[in-house]
Amino acid sequence: MNGSGTAPAAPTPSARPAYRRLSVEERRTQLIAAALVLFAHRAPEDVSLDDVAAAAKVSRPLVYRYFPGGKPQLYETALRSAADDLELCFAEPQTGPLTGRLAAVLDRYLAFVDEHDAGFGALLQGGSVAETSRTGAIVDGVRRAAAAQILKHLQVPEPGPRLRMMVRTWITAVEAASLIWLDEGKQPPVEELRDWLVDHFVALLTATSANDPQTAEVTRAALALERAEGPVGRLARQVIPVVSDAAHLL
């Protein structure tokens, strides 16, 4: 059933046989993990199957035995695995102020971005040779999962078009801000980025309330859960002095 652990070493010195026999599933997991580390830090076109074999300390033919489709299959599998990890980040208990839950999810998401930096950038910035309609579908699936989680926390079983557009737009804004953050050498500090993204959500939700009764209801319910010492209280107290000169607008 499993002869892969005894595959002959490849001629390159860096590819050595594994130290113990792994089960098929263990070996597969190990190869995906090695591929993920490589794809995280380089653009897919800069990762070869030889690199993956060397990182996993196995031969190139063994990598092909597990992934007969070669690099495209390995890339897609690694991406699928990263997407599953990312979707796990989104799970958050539905208790406490909404901004606290959002901050907790953003902390995990931004840790993921930090860890998968170059690969995350290459994937989302597109134009990669490794991109296919299937890899695009995996990324879209993550976006849909994120939107579904947010709508669940907003407790809206049948979100209307305005609220859905608001949530999807904010998710894109989070992606864009993450890419800019990577581009700018991970500045500002990740906690500041997270707080700004939470503020962005609160601001967009509130502005969308202006013309959408459903969003207004969601906003009222969300604000009722917030605390004066929390992010929304802080945001309100910091913004009021800025807008207070604009009494002519009321």
Positions touching a second copy (CB under 8 A) are 125-127, 131-133, 135-136, 161-162, 164-165, 168-170, 172-173, 175-177, 180-181, 184, 187-188, 192, 195-196, 199-200, 202-204, 206-211, 216, 219-220, 223-224, 226-228, 230, 232-240, 242-243, 245-246, 248-250
Q: Which is nearer to a second copy, 2 or 192 (CB)?
A: 192
What's the DSSP call for residue 69?
A: T
Helices marked H in 22-158: 24-41, 49-55, 60-66, 70-89, 98-115, 117-125, 133-153
Q: How far is the CB of 57 from a second copy (least distance, A)?
A: 34
Q: Based on CB atoms, which residue is closest to a second copy, 94 or 211?
A: 211
* Ramachandran angles phi, psi of 186, nearest 5°: 60, 40
Burial class (CB in 10 A: 0-12, 13-18, 19+), 245: exposed
Residue number with CB closer to a second copy (24 or 177): 177
- Least separation in angstroms between residue 142's CB and a second copy is 15
Q: How far is the CB of 20 from a second copy (least distance, A)?
A: 41
Gap between the Cα atoms of 12 and 54, Å rounded: 9
User: How many residues are given for the chain?
Assistant: 250
CA nearest to 193, candidates 116, 114, 117: 114
Least Cβ distance, residue 136 to a second copy (angstroms): 4
- Tokens in use for 125? 């910035």
Pick between residue 66 and residue 170 the one whose CB is nearest to a second copy: 170
Cβ closest to a second copy, residue 18 vs residue 130:
130
Smallest gap from residue 217 Cβ to a second copy (A): 9
